[in-house]
Amino acid sequence: MTGKALDLDAVVVGAGAVGLAIGRALAQSGLDTLVIESQPRHGMGTSSRNSGVIHAGLYYPPGSNKANWCVEGRELLYAFCRSHQVAHRQLGKLIVGQHEDVAALQTIASRAKDAGVENLRWLSQNELKTMEPEVRAHHALFSPSTGIVDVHELMLALEGEIEKAGGNVVTQSCFLAATPLGASACQGWQLDIKVGQQESHRLSCQLLINAAGLDADAVANRIEGLSADHVPQVHFAKGNYASLTGGHPFKHLVYPAPVPGGLGTHLTLNIAGEAQFGPDVEWLGPADPSRLPGSTHPGLNYAVNAARLADFATSVQRWWPSLKAERLQPGYSGIRPKLTQNAKEPAADFVLQRPGHHGLAGLINLFGIESPGITACLAIGNAVRQCAKSST
């Protein structure tokens, strides 16, 4: 770092799983790091509203950030969970399809291989029957590397690591704006932050990392000097879950063939063994680029409309015919910050925007961090640390 009298080496905006993993990576590399979070607690955004699945990396185009960080992140995450006693289970996952889905399953199998996932395999009907007796499918793939994690325990452990390395996480601290210091941005950033109900508070830092999840575009729009061309138009896509009342026979996660915009209405199990189905994909439209940073999460409607349950039942009954529709209840929901505007466009990659892209030293933006962001968080932390080394 330079010898300038800046308050901090690095400020990370957003204390979701990704911002916390970045904060940990930077603090452990010796940078004086602060993670700021607008909400009263860390992880109240999308990191609290997902399936908690540790993805194997089956779905993403080889060479993409999603593919690379998912495969690397999954191994890092299992190791982290083991060493920090974070609850997790490597349950394995079935991807099941009927006759008409065979091409989709074959695409997953070959894409997974190209992305470095070597242990995905086809199941015989006998194996399928033994592993999940109530699942009916003509074709099934098995991914032994897929698992689940308690995301809250993960975030607590990450926060603990930040503090152990001398960094801090502060809540109720909302990023309002950033201004480059000196004649050029390479001399650092001055930040305006609203702390609690007070008026704005100022601090300065060498490195500014925007990991604000659903608000990343709104934060970027308040960074002076960042051209609007470098801020993507975000579209929100809600993912609704249906919970299952009563018991269930499942030991593995069960996914159908993916649908445009999502992975299909699948069965996930949480650490307590409870089953839920989802998420589906409900496009909510474009985010308002002029909204105040930090205002998105409190303004969203996360309620799950019971009218959607009939569609859940129909898609699940394709592979679990004995499901009785009345056992489904509205569950929770989460929202994806999509960089595409509808399901017709091919899925976008994770964007890690560095100084080389936008021309402002000391600034890193993360856009479109949807699934598999939990799985990838430690790999994203490493990528940002690497990038930070070359930006200072």
Ligand X SMILES: Cc1cc2nc3c(=O)[nH]c(=O)nc-3n(C[C@H](O)[C@H](O)[C@H](O)COP(=O)(O)OP(=O)(O)OC[C@H]3O[C@@H](n4cnc5c(N)ncnc54)[C@H](O)[C@@H]3O)c2cc1C
Instruction: Determine, following the binding rule CB under 6 A, whether residue 334 of this chain makes contact with ligand X.
Output: yes
* Identity of the residue, 279 or 355, whose beta carbon is nearer to ligand X in the bound complex: 279
Applying CB under 6 A, among 293, 355, 368, 381 the residue interacting with ligand X is: 293
Instruction: Determine, following the binding rule CB under 6 A, whether residue 161 of this chain makes contact with ligand X.
Output: no
* Identity of the residue, 296 or 391, whose beta carbon is nearer to ligand X in the bound complex: 296
Closest CA to 302 of 270, 331, 276: 331
Cβ burial, residue 16 (10 Å; 0-12/13-18/19+): buried
* Identity of the residue, 202 or 324, whose beta carbon is nearer to ligand X in the bound complex: 202
Applying CB under 6 A, among 369, 378, 387, 388 the residue interacting with ligand X is: 369
Smallest separation, CB 338 to ligand X (Å): 10
Hey, what are 168's tokens? 């801090």
- Whether 333 and 49 have beta carbons less than 8 Å apart is answered as yes
Smallest separation, CB 376 to ligand X (Å): 7
Cα 101 from Cα 88, distance rounded (Å)? 31
User: Of residues 53-82, which lie at the interface with ligand X (CB under 6 A)?
Assistant: 53, 55
Q: Give the number of C-alpha atoms closer than 13 A to the C-alpha of residue 320, restricted to the C-beta side.
A: 25
- Whether 171 and 37 have beta carbons less than 8 Å apart is answered as yes
Applying CB under 6 A, among 6, 23, 32, 52 the residue interacting with ligand X is: 52
* Identity of the residue, 41 or 129, whose beta carbon is nearer to ligand X in the bound complex: 41
* Identity of the residue, 365 or 375, whose beta carbon is nearer to ligand X in the bound complex: 375
Stretch that binds ligand X, among 4-12, 80-88, 120-128, 330-338 (CB under 6 A): 330-338
Applying CB under 6 A, among 57, 239, 258, 355 the residue interacting with ligand X is: 239
* Identity of the residue, 3 or 298, whose beta carbon is nearer to ligand X in the bound complex: 298
Cα 47 from Cα 22, distance rounded (Å)? 14
Applying CB under 6 A, among 8, 10, 17, 323 the residue interacting with ligand X is: 17
Closest CA to 31 of 183, 214, 174, 188: 188
Closest CA to 343 of 268, 238, 255, 241: 238
* Identity of the residue, 23 or 355, whose beta carbon is nearer to ligand X in the bound complex: 23
Cβ burial, residue 9 (10 Å; 0-12/13-18/19+): buried
Instruction: Determine, following the binding rule CB under 6 A, whether residue 38 of this chain makes contact with ligand X.
Output: yes
Cα 100 from Cα 319, distance rounded (Å)? 13
Instruction: Determine, following the binding rule CB under 6 A, whether residue 204 of this chain makes contact with ligand X.
Output: no
Applying CB under 6 A, among 60, 69, 78, 175 the residue interacting with ligand X is: 175
Instruction: Determine, following the binding rule CB under 6 A, whether residue 235 of this chain makes contact with ligand X.
Output: no
Applying CB under 6 A, among 27, 34, 50, 388 the residue interacting with ligand X is: 50
* Identity of the residue, 36 or 91, whose beta carbon is nearer to ligand X in the bound complex: 36
- Whether 376 and 368 have beta carbons less than 8 Å apart is answered as no
Instruction: Determine, following the binding rule CB under 6 A, whether residue 211 of this chain makes contact with ligand X.
Output: yes
Instruction: Determine, following the binding rule CB under 6 A, whether residue 336 of this chain makes contact with ligand X.
Output: yes
Give yes or no for a cis peptide into 372 (omega within 30° of 0). Answer: yes
Residues binding ligand X (CB under 6 A): 13-19, 36-39, 44-47, 50-53, 55, 174-175, 211-215, 219, 239, 279, 293-294, 297, 334-336, 369-375
